[in-house]
């Protein structure tokens, strides 16, 4: 069945803007028969400002570029050491609402961290995943024509200094966290496998294809 097909696309390290443009093009061009995809990658250092973004939340971006994007939410940072997964899903075909998808992502991250002995939780007032009051994972989604794009970022082992240049997700003084501070033995490869497994088990696709790169 077409609705059961999912492609895991492992992309390595990618610049932000061309990837975002590919996401938008993929979503605009997909049809009722297009398989869903997860784009799994790491970005060059960048701040992204969502549709609700306010300039005052960019405190001191310095030499890190700022990109205005079409997802929900405020400002966040992407960069080396952070796992990014974009969920390009036909949520209408999957019978998901946006809140359903947000819950699924948060539950997947919390379950993965629990496997590692890290107690994490979601907050109803601020999407994302938190450990000991600090944000370890961010979410931002866009839905167009019944299909989602953008997705999640999990701080595995990045330098957290760029988060000090912004109010993360629009919250002044919000602390950020990284998995390496609890589990320094977990690298980006291991985190990728663990998070993807949790997502795939919840999404329910029965035909999974794993691909390296764009083709």
Query: Which residues have a catalytic role annotated?
Result: 169
Half-sphere exposure of 100 (CA within 13 A, CB side): 11
Query: Which residues, 6 or more positions from 52, have their beta carbon under 8 angstroms from its beta carbon?
Result: 72, 73, 74, 170
- Known binding residue 4? Answer is no
Largest CA distance in the chain: 50
- Known binding residue 150? Answer is no
- Known binding residue 141? Answer is no
Q: Measured between alpha carbons, how far is 34 from 5 in angstroms, rounded to an integer?
A: 9
- Known binding residue 109? Answer is no
Half-sphere exposure of 211 (CA within 13 A, CB side): 13
- Known binding residue 151? Answer is yes
- Known binding residue 77? Answer is yes
- Known binding residue 72? Answer is yes
Q: Going by DSSP bridges, is the β-strand pair 36-43/5-14 parallel, antiparallel, or unpaired?
A: parallel
Give the helix/strand (H/E) hosting 78.
Answer: strand 75-78
- Known binding residue 73? Answer is yes
- Known binding residue 214? Answer is no
Question: What tokens appear for 81 in the block?
Answer: 């050491």
Residues at the binding site are 71-78, 138-140, 151-153
Instruction: Pick out the residues of the known binding site for substrate.
Output: 71-78, 138-140, 151-153
């Amino acid at each position: 069945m077409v609705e059961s097909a999912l492609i895991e696309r492992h992309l390595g390290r990618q610049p932000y803007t061309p990837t975002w443009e590919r996401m938008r093009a993929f979503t605009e061009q997909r049809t009722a028969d297009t398989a869903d995809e997860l784009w799994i990658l790491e970005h060059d250092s960048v701040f992204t400002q969502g549709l609700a973004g306010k300039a005052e939340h960019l405190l001191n971006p310095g030499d890190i570029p700022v990109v205005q994007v079409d997802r929900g939410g405020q400002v966040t940072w992407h960069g080396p050491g952070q796992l990014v997964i974009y969920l390009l899903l036909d949520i209408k075909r999957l019978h998901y609402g946006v809140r359903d998808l947000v819950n699924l992502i948060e539950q997947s991250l919390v379950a993965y961290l629990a496997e590692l002995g890290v107690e994490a939780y979601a907050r109803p007032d601020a999407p994302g995943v938190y450990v000991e009051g600090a944000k370890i994972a961010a979410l931002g989604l866009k839905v167009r024509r019944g299909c989602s794009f953008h997705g999640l970022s999990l701080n595995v082992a990045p330098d957290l200094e760029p988060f000090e240049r912004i109010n993360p997700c629009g919250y002044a003084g919000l602390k950020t966290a990284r998995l390496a501070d609890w589990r320094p033995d977990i690298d980006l490869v291991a985190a990728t496998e663990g998070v993807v497994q949790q997502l795939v088990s919840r999404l329910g696709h029965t035909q999974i294809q794993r691909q390296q790169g764009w083709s």
